[in-house]
Amino acid sequence: MALSVAAVVAAGLVGGVTGGLIGGNDTGGTVPASTPISQNVGNNKATDVSAIADKVLPSVVQVNVRSGNQQGLGSGVILTADGRILTNNHVVTGASQVSVTLNDGRKFTAKVVGTDVASDLAVLQLDDASGLTPAALGDSSAVKVGDQVVAIGSPGGLQGTVTTGIVSALNRDVNVSEDEGGGNPYAGNSRGEQTTYKAIQTDASINQGNSGGPLVNSAGQVIGINSAIYSPVSTPDGRAGSVGIGFSIPINDAKTVIDKIVTS
Q: How far apart are CA 185 and CA 92, in angstroms?
A: 9
* Amino acid in the structure at residue 67: S
Catalytic residue at 179?
no
Closest CA to 32 of 137, 139, 149: 137
Closest CA to 112 of 86, 80, 82, 77: 86
Catalytic residue at 120?
yes
What is the C-alpha end-to-end distance of the chain, expressed in Å? Answer: 34
Q: How far apart are CA 252 and CA 139, in angstroms?
A: 6
Q: How far apart are CA 257 and CA 246, in angstroms?
A: 21
* Amino acid in the structure at residue 191: R
Q: Which of 4, 26, 75, 90 is catalytic?
A: 90
**Those residues with Cβ within 8 angstroms of residue 191's Cβ, 6 or more apart along the chain or in another chain:** none
Q: Which of 26, 116, 120, 203 is catalytic?
A: 120
As a residue count, the chain comes to: 264
Closest CA to 258 of 218, 222, 219, 205: 222
Q: Which of 205, 211, 218, 227 is catalytic?
A: 211
DSSP conformation letters of 36-92: --EEEETTEEEE-HHHHHHHHGGGEEEEEEEETTEEEEEEEEE-STT-EEEE-HHHH
Catalytic residue at 38?
no
The catalytic site residues sit at 90, 120, 211
